[in-house]
Amino acid sequence: MEIEGLISLTLIELGAIVLVLSVVARLASKLGVSAIPLYLTAGLAVGNNSLVPLELCEDFVRLGAEIGVILLLFTMGLEYSSERLRNSLGDALPASLADLILNFPPGLLAGLILGWSPLASVLLGGITYISSSGIIAKLLTDAGWMDHGETPTVLSILVLEDIAMALFLPLVTIFLVDQGLLSSLLSIAVAVVAGGGMLFVAMRYGKRLSELIAHSSDEIMLLTTLGLALLVAGISERLQLSAAVGAFLVGITLSGRVAERTHELMHPLTDWFAAIFFLFFGLGIELNTLPPVILPALALVLVTALTKIATAWWSTRHMNLASSNRLCAGITLIARGEFSLVMAGMGLAAGLQPELGPLTAAYVLFSVLLGTVLTRAVEPLLDSQNENTVLTTQAKTQAASH
């Protein structure tokens, strides 16, 4: 009876969490913003030493969060075909290098100034470097900017950032584990070979593997791709390559109609488990740890917003775009999200730096809000610029006809 009572209370607690997440998602939809910062806020509200402590279903939420990271990066990988990946690696490499040079150092220097360890500072550099592909894709779609001239550059930068993280995370994972020099070198070699091998297979044999996986049944497709993603994620974790990176590379491997169908089938699962991940991240942060990091997070957001704008401005210098379009490209890159939280979660799990979690949570919250607000603010400027361009083109056409 005692076990049955515990199960019933756990189900009640879990059901209440899911309903809270649904309310948060509705609110985000009504406001026209990403739900990620609101999920984080909900996690802060129900975490330990917070407004409504969560006790009974924490283990389930923890497992759900792990699955959430895997599915989130798997579906992100589905967005990148091998052809798109190959083109991005060549065409957008200079823009990607500028992105790294301008946006990694602010986090690294901020960590060192705060007195953090070199490894924690490197993690913070990665957090400030990488933008949120998911949030930015939503911003571009909602604003109707997908067909703008600057958007391909933005998307190429995002692709190469995700690939950079696929190489960066395994190396960080190795250094987070306390092991000897020889073991570390061996682990690095295994991670590089395994990661490079998976990336090579994805780019070279992605189409053939997709043809083998393809099936007319949605049920079989879902079970096959989900099982493959979880299996490779587990093997990658064993090889210290990071489960999330393994799932991301599996997503890249799938292409064509298989990738599209898998994305459609996985979408509800991904949304559910990703919400659990963002909630769980907030659960691990106590409210009383936030006030000391508010000012550093705000300063870091302002600095890295400017560096992202500078990145896009330089990257689009040769594209004969209006200043408003180049500005919009930078603004869309401001938001940070899933990868930043993944890296912070790794650092917290390793006991690296207690302030890393609260600072990252505040940084992600502020960057998403700033990116959303600025996107809304520049829309009239962009519309006016496009209208003037159309009028100028019409005037030139009429003059030429006379």
Residues 6+ apart with CB under 8 A from 211: 258
List CB contacts of 3: < 8 A, sequence separation 6 or more: none
* Domains located in the chain, CATH noted: 2-391 (1.20.1530.20)
Q: Are 130 and 344 within 8 A, CB to CB?
A: no
Is the dihedral angle over the CA atoms 353, 359, 365, 368 positive or is it negative? Answer: negative
Distance, in Å, from the CA atom of 162 to the CA atom of 150, rounded to the nearest integer, reads 19
Type of residue at 155: L
Q: How does pLDDT run across 123-165, given as a tens digit for each residue?
A: 999 999 999 877 787 777 667 777 777 877 887 788 788 778 7
- Positive or negative torsion for Cα 242, 246, 247, 252: positive
Distance, CA of 116 to CA of 104 (rounded, Å): 16
pLDDT at 139: 75
Number of Cβ atoms within 10 Å of the Cβ of 18 = 13
Give the chain's residues under pLDDT 70.
1-5, 47-58, 80-91, 141-142, 177-188, 190-192, 194-195, 198-199, 202, 240-242, 381-402
pLDDT of residue 393: 44
Which residue, among 162, 252, 243, 164, has the nearest Cα to 205 in the 3D structure? 252
| pLDDT at 324 (0 to 100) | 83
- 327-344 b/e with 16+ CB inside 10 Å = b? bbbbbbbbbbbbbbbbbb
Separation CA 227–CA 230 (nearest Å): 5
Helices (H), 214-290: 218-238, 243-253, 256-283
pLDDT for position 383:
60
